[in-house]
Amino acid sequence: MQIYIDGTWVNKEDAKISVFDHGLLYGDGVFEGIRIYGGTIFRLKEHVRRLYDSAKTTLLTIPMDEQEMAALLCDAVARNKKTEGYIRLVITRGVGDLGINPATCPKASVIVIVDDISLYPAEHYKNGIKVITASTRRNSPDAIDPRVKSLNYLNNIMAKLEAQQAGCLEAILLNREGKVAECTGDNIFYIRDGVLITPASDQGALKGITRDAVLEAAKEIGMETRATATTLYDLYTADECFLTGTAAEMIPVTTIDGRSIGDGKPGPATAKVRAAFQALIQKEI
């Protein structure tokens, strides 16, 4: 495995950063997780654009332009000979002094990792998963905009710990108004009377690349879609439910807070959307 760190390619065992890096010390940085399908980087342009939007919002200057970044990611995939896999692209504020002052970091660091990823055991894609609602609330959008993919994931991690303690793989995060935002690492969708619905981005949900692709795929097969405020009642009474994410792709949810969704099994509409999503991927590679 060849990992890129600030202009140098190194083996996995030699990939190191400074203990004074502000990404390590303070979670000061942004990142992207990107899929590789058939040797093609899925929605490369969209991922790079989102990265630079996150960086701009946090006044983080990336030491290359978007075209150079896209070329670097393609080079990383080629060097690692990956036809199916996952890219973790990390931009940290860089090395600086102790103390949070970002002005002590003269240059941001760029890290590119190409590897495999598997968030959930394979059987759960067939049988679905159980989730709970976390007591941890999603960071408020008026404090940290959810469209910024920052390195600080403590909010999500606290909710993930709740899920694990409850014997579940995932947890739903609510916003401060009690509306559904997203899960710890995935967007959430539900289907009611043939309509595909997901929480709106202004409710605290990341505007996911896979989320958008799934919405596109559903529209292509004639399914009505909506992005709107969502409550737990909406999820509990849904016909079907599933999660989406770059790493997770699409995974069905069959139980929420002890309540069976629909008949408690992955539903036919979810299967149709998943097939449409897979077809969209094949069309783009």
Spatial distance between the Cα atoms of 248 and 251, rounded to a whole number of angstroms: 7
Residue in the block written with tokens 């083996």: 11
Q: List phi, psi (to 5°) of 149.
A: -90, 85
Spatial distance between the Cα atoms of 257 and 131, rounded to a whole number of angstroms: 6
End-to-end CA distance of the chain: 23
Annotated catalytic residues are 149
The answer to whether 180 and 60 have CB atoms below 8 angstroms apart is no
Residue in the block written with tokens 């070329």: 71
Beta strands in 54-142 (DSSP E): 85-92, 109-115, 129-137
Show contacts of 57-65: CB within 8 Å, 24+ apart.
Answer: 57/145, 57/147, 57/148, 58/28, 58/30, 58/148, 58/150, 59/102, 60/28, 60/29, 60/30, 60/91, 60/93, 60/108, 61/108, 62/91, 62/108, 62/110, 63/107, 63/108, 63/110, 64/110
